[in-house]
Chain A
Amino acid sequence: MSKFKKKKSDGQPAISTASLPDIVFMLLFFFMVTTVMREVTLKVEIQTPKATEVDKLERKSLVSYIYIGEPIKSLQGTFGTEPRIQLNDAFATKRDIIQFVEIERENTDEAERPLMTFSMKVDDDVKMGIVTDVKQELRKANALKINYSTGKTDKIVD
């Protein structure tokens, strides 16, 4: 009878989207775990050089960064175009480096202090003069483990 009329099968049944949130959540967690928020706003322009014999920097919590480069365009009116040193969020001079090293040391667990690395992110147009000054200050502060931040490439060109 017509009471139990068969439903007309109208094409294919819709795919169940019930598991979609699960999939999306999985992706979400992946990105939440891997994401690293940028801690400092760069006030200098940095294009690091490329090298072939690079090591990976492990233990990010033990790495402190020193940035050297020309001030960014919007700050050039105030600070000029001479390369400058940036520590944390502010411009600094080479005399601030010893203090910077001390503060970074204070913030690190005592057992791990010998493993601290100071990574220098330097623009490739910068002259060695300012880099050498920074290195000498790091020596004075007894921060001897350093790293020149470079990208990886397959071949060095002249």
Chain B
Amino acid sequence: MARRNAPEINAGSMADIAFLLLIFFLVTTTMDVDTGLTRKLPPPIDVPPEDVPEVKQRNVFVVLANANDDLLVEGEPTLVSDLRRKAKDFIIGDANNENMPEFTNKNIPALGGMYPVSKQIISLQNDRGTSYDLYIKVQNELVGAYNDVRNEFAMRKFGKSYKELEELAKTSEGAEQQLDAVKDVYPQRISEAEPKNIGDQ
């Protein structure tokens, strides 16, 4: 018996089915990319070390945030919008100023030998009653100050922005050395003190 051709399936409703699925995925899809401030916590300390290396007052930039969301920067009440400028001035430093951080010479090959590096440390202390909103703002401004300083330095020395260097460092070894040099000259040192509980929660 001659084989009869199977009748063709009507594909007219295919579009409808596909549309239905499409609409389902359109509705459920979320395009948001997770963003945030990445930080590193200090490792846990079981026994407090006996001889804590002393840090001179002039090398520390003290930022205090209290339960009323007020900021005290180096003893002066400050607005969040002024924090970045103050932090930048401190990070860049001034070798001739008694109140600014000290410098030590460090060997950085990408910059051709010894280079003066500031001993700056930023100390951040907040109260248990400080709002998370303010805390993030302060963190953001401090990280931003470091990024700005590094950016300016990278522009001046290597003619590239810090972001560009970070991108290039993934592929090129020369750029990686330059990136490390920028990080060595302006290391990000944000120290968070153990929280205090003063004032109302």
Chain A interface (Cβ within 8 Å of chain B)? 17, 20-21, 24-25, 27-28, 31-32, 34-38, 49, 51-57, 60, 63, 117, 119, 122-129, 131-132, 135, 138-140, 142-152, 156-158
Task: Check if B34 sits within 8 Å of A56, measured CB to CB.
Answer: yes
Could you tell me the distance between the alpha carbons of A131 and B126 in the complex, rounded to whole angstroms?
A: 11
Contact with A along B24-44 (1 / 0, CB 8 A): 011011110111111111111
B174 at the interface (CB under 8 A from A): no
Task: Check if A147 sits within 8 Å of B39, measured CB to CB.
Answer: yes
Interface SS majority for chain B:
mixed
For residue A126, which residue of chain B has the nearest CB?
A: B132
B177 at the interface (CB under 8 A from A): no
Interface residue from B41, B79, B80, B144 paired with A53 (Cβ < 8 Å): B144
Could you tell me the distance between the alpha carbons of A25 and B14 in the complex, rounded to whole angstroms?
A: 10
Task: Check if B80 sits within 8 Å of A156, measured CB to CB.
Answer: yes
Interface residue from A24, A60, A131, A146 paired with B132 (Cβ < 8 Å): A131
Task: Check if A149 sits within 8 Å of B36, measured CB to CB.
Answer: yes
Which chain B residues border A35 with CB–CB below 8 Å? Answer: 25, 28-30
Which chain A residues border B131 with CB–CB below 8 Å? Answer: 124-128
Q: Give the contact-size bracket for chain B.
A: 35 or more
Q: What are 23 A-B contacts with C-beta separation under 8 Å?
A: A17-B15, A24-B15, A28-B21, A28-B25, A36-B30, A37-B28, A53-B37, A55-B37, A56-B33, A124-B133, A125-B133, A127-B132, A128-B128, A129-B129, A132-B128, A145-B40, A145-B41, A147-B38, A150-B36, A150-B37, A150-B136, A150-B140, A156-B141
Task: Check if B35 sits within 8 Å of A150, measured CB to CB.
Answer: yes
Could you tell me the distance between the alpha carbons of A151 and B76 in the complex, rounded to whole angstroms?
A: 30
Which chain B residues border A119 with CB–CB below 8 Å? Answer: 34, 36
With A146-B41, A156-B80 as given contacts, are A128 and B135 in contact (CB-CB < 8 Å)?
A: yes
Task: Check if A52 sits within 8 Å of B35, measured CB to CB.
Answer: no
Task: Check if B29 sits within 8 Å of A31, measured CB to CB.
Answer: yes
Task: Check if B37 sits within 8 Å of A122, measured CB to CB.
Answer: no
Q: Closest 6 A-B residue pairs measured CB to CB?
A: A129-B128, A31-B25, A124-B133, A51-B140, A35-B29, A57-B34
